[in-house]
Amino acid sequence: MYVSESEIRTVLTYEALIPAIRQALIDYSAGLVIQPLRTIMRAGNAEDHRNGWFATMPVISGDVMAVKNVTFYPGNDELGLPTHMAIIELLRRSTGEPLAVMDGRLITEMRTAAVSAVALSALAPRGAQSLGILGSGVQARSHLQAIRYLMPELTEIRIWSRTDANAKRLAQEAGAHATSIEEAASADVVVTVTSTTVPLLKGQWLAPNALVISVGGTGSTVRELDDQVMRSSYIIAECKKAAERESGDIILSGSKVNAEIGQILAGKISAPLGTRILFKSVGMAIEDLTAARIVWKARSGLAV
């Protein structure tokens, strides 16, 4: 069975995905998921920012196994192509039978936003009302959708982009406000979904008890956040080993991950109250498996 992006769009919803992702994160931190760190290779297609990478992400969980092959080409924006593209294969764990092959672009988009929404629901400062988004691309839109589904009380939405016209366009679409980066960064919750390779978000702009959710800055040599953000925050990740190996924000600032989000969700560790928290997302194969399993079951007429 091959499932195209258009078919995935008809069956994959945040209503089904968000609770499934929450449980998957708990299962991962509880040791119930078999998942090695991803293998990443540079494509060598360019000598500048356009140089892409190719990664393979295998995982085993429950009754299924999966592998995602994903590419990230920052220069694709200039060509009118998605920067992230992927294929996911789902297999039956008991026999190794292939169950489905599906396009992974939308799954990657939606599961990333779902992870952030789950983290936000667990970590948002008490009484949070404002949300600042740095970025105006695909992930900015998907994050707005997922966060609004799970936390509609965040009614004040501030959007900043390096391209002012893009920020205004997204703000108009979303009923939000296009603002300066300083104003967006002063929100109760700040989500960074940029393609920058150098720090954009400065700690001096953040509220003392802000929650920062960092999704961009993909790679061990690139950053979205400055040292003040990193060194003043309690750092939470999906996977401690992966974040400390793959996140330039963590590596280049000399920071360490304090906890995994699955431990927080399961009540094994409590995030400190009244302090600044950073959730650093690098993505995991279990998130792709979780979404792919929902799609496969829906397409097969099985109960999710």
pLDDT digits over 214-230, tens only? 999 878 888 999 999 99
Total of domains in the chain: 2
| Domain CATH for 126 | 3.40.50.720
Q: Are 277 and 214 members of one domain?
A: yes
199-223 per-residue burial string, b: 16 or more CB within 10 A, e: under 16: bbbebebbbeebbbbbbbbbbbebb
Q: Are 224 and 213 members of one domain?
A: yes
Q: Write down the pLDDT at residue 9.
A: 97
Q: Are 249 and 176 members of one domain?
A: yes
**Reading across the β-sheet that carries 211-214, which strands appear in turn?**
177-178, 156-160, 130-134, 189-192, 211-214, 277-280, 234-237, 259-260
Q: Are 292 and 275 members of one domain?
A: no
> Residue 248 in contact with residue 221, Cβ under 8 Å?
yes
304 pLDDT higher than 60: no
Output the pTM of the full model.
Answer: 0.94
Q: Which tens digit of pLDDT belongs to each residue from 263-301?
A: 999 999 999 988 999 999 999 999 999 999 999 999 887
Q: Are 57 and 168 members of one domain?
A: no
CA distance 244 to 87: 26
Q: Are 260 and 293 members of one domain?
A: no
Q: Which tens digit of pLDDT belongs to each residue from 69-101?
A: 999 898 888 888 988 899 999 999 999 999 999
Q: Are 135 and 61 members of one domain?
A: no
Residues 6+ apart with CB under 8 A from 95: none
Q: Write down the pLDDT at residue 72.
A: 87
Q: Write down the pLDDT at residue 83.
A: 85
Q: Are 143 and 97 members of one domain?
A: no
Q: Write down the pLDDT at residue 303.
A: 60
Range of the domain at 100: 2-107+286-300
Q: Which tens digit of pLDDT belongs to each residue from 156-211?
A: 999 999 999 999 999 999 999 999 999 999 999 999 999 888 999 999 999 999 99
Residue with tokens 């991803």: 38
> Residue 292 in contact with residue 102, Cβ under 8 Å?
yes
| Domain CATH for 13 | 3.30.1780.10
Using a pLDDT cut of 70, give the percent of the chain over it: 99
Q: Are 186 and 251 members of one domain?
A: yes
Q: Are 49 and 89 members of one domain?
A: yes
Q: Stretch 126-155: mean pLDDT, rounded?
A: 95
What is the length of the chain?
304
CA distance 7 to 82: 18
For the chain, what is the mean pLDDT?
94
155 pLDDT higher than 70: yes
Q: Are 123 and 212 members of one domain?
A: yes
Q: Write down the pLDDT at residue 11.
A: 96
Q: Are 233 and 294 members of one domain?
A: no
Q: Which tens digit of pLDDT belongs to each residue from 242-257?
A: 999 999 999 999 999 9
